């Protein structure tokens, strides 16, 4: 499912906020954004953001339109079971509860949820 222009702006904005935050905290940041090194695939899925500072945090960012998609399912499963890293997910505030329900149904829960 491709995102609308507005959804893509929202999606990229969330990634940008997280990337800037973790960069300020001294993490090495790889992000699916111009100006950042690209994240490497994990079990065939490319995360939206990876922050490393002695420990690796892998982020998946979803919008209200993409949280229930098959692509999101694939990424949540891949990142939930990856060894040596912690899986975090970020969604717009109004979609936190539905996203948590969907992730629980998938048995692919992030260690931490971020809301923007």
d(CA 91, CA 82): 21
- Write down the CATH number for the domain with range 5-115: 3.40.1350
The single residue listed with the structure tokens 């420990």 is 55
For position 110, what pLDDT does the model report? 97
Angle between the N-to-C axes of helices 96-106 and 70-80, in degrees from 0 to 180, rounded to the nearest 10: 70
For the chain, 116 residues long, the average pLDDT of each consecutive 10-residue run is 78 95 97 96 96 97 92 96 95 95 95 94
pLDDT for position 83: 92
Q: Report the pLDDT value the prediction gives residue 108, as an integer from 0 to 100.
A: 94
Domain segments of the chain as ranges: 5-115
Answer yes or no: are the C-beta atoms of 38 and 70 closer than 8 Å: no
Q: What is the pTM of this model?
A: 0.92
pLDDT at 116: 86
- Taking phi first (over 0 means left), then psi (-120 to 50 degrees means alpha), and beta for anything else, what does residue 84 get? left
């Amino acid at each position: 499912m491709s995102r609308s222009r507005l959804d893509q702006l929202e999606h990229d904005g969330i990634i940008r906020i997280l990337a800037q935050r973790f960069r300020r905290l001294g993490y090495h940041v790889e992000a699916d954004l111009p100006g950042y090194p690209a994240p490497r695939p994990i079990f065939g899925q490319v995360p939206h953001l990876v922050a490393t500072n002695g420990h690796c945090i892998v982020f998946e960012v979803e919008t209200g339109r993409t949280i229930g998609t098959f692509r999101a399912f694939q990424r949540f499963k891949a990142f939930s079971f990856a060894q040596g890293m912690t899986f975090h997910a970020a969604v717009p505030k109004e979609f936190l509860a539905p996203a948590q329900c969907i992730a629980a149904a998938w048995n692919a829960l992030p260690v931490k949820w971020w809301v923007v």
